[in-house]
Amino acid sequence: MPSYSIDGVIPVVDPSAYVHPSAVLIGDVIVGPNCYVGPCASLRGDFGRIVLEEGSNVQDHCCIHGFPDHDTVVEVNGHIGHGAILHSCIVRRDALVGMNAVVMDEAEIGEKAIVAACAFVPAGMKVPARSLAAGIPAKVKRELSEDEIAWKLEGTQTYQALTVRSLASLREVEPLSSVEKNRPSLPATDVRSLIATKRG
């Protein structure tokens, strides 16, 4: 992946992590064990430190940045959905930030909390543990159910499995010109959408 030092500080990627070749890491970035960083993600550690703790994932087109002397941290099993933006904030253990959400300076997403897709979490907001925050600006809507917390963990475990799959088999190739006979399917997983889970 494109990886750049700045002022002599070099990104760190644990060998068990997967960082897509199109993701960009700059400066003081630490990617921990079993993490997944998706295509076109930008982790700019040119002011403050960026830390992804064990088993966390940062998906396609995410942007992570921060102010000087402020760490931006995604704790163990943190889950950052497609297109989300994190700036000088903390996402606590087992929390989820939904697709295209924005989490601003010195905000804190509590343990096992969920920030809904497209939410805007303003600077300094503290989202309590095990709660749902949604809206622009984000408001705490309610406490999460045990089923919702379990659903989030299943999704994170699916990305941890994707880390292993990507390290083992993801390779750049030339596309085929036509669909081959007996084209294989990707291995099935048990992960379902939240709506499908609620339907039973």
pLDDT in tens, 15-48: 999 999 999 999 999 999 999 999 999 999 999 9
Residue 196 above 90 pLDDT? no
Q: What is the pLDDT of residue 184?
A: 87
If one looks up domain 3-143 in CATH, what number appears? 2.160.10.10
Q: What is the pLDDT of residue 187?
A: 78
**What is the reported pTM?**
0.92
pLDDT category of residue 186 using cuts at 50, 70 and 90? confident
pLDDT in tens, 45-63: 999 999 999 999 999 999 9
Q: What is the pLDDT of residue 194?
A: 61
Q: What is the pLDDT of residue 162?
A: 94
pLDDT in tens, 106-139: 999 999 999 999 999 999 999 999 999 999 999 9
Q: What is the pLDDT of residue 198?
A: 61
Domain positions in the chain: 3-143
Q: What is the pLDDT of residue 197?
A: 58
* Residue 199 region by backbone torsions, left for phi larger than 0, else alpha for psi between -120 and 50, else beta: alpha
Q: What is the pLDDT of residue 42?
A: 98
Q: What is the pLDDT of residue 199?
A: 64
Residue 145 above 80 pLDDT? yes
Residue 193 above 80 pLDDT? no
Residue 195 above 80 pLDDT? no
Separation CA 160–CA 59 (nearest Å): 12
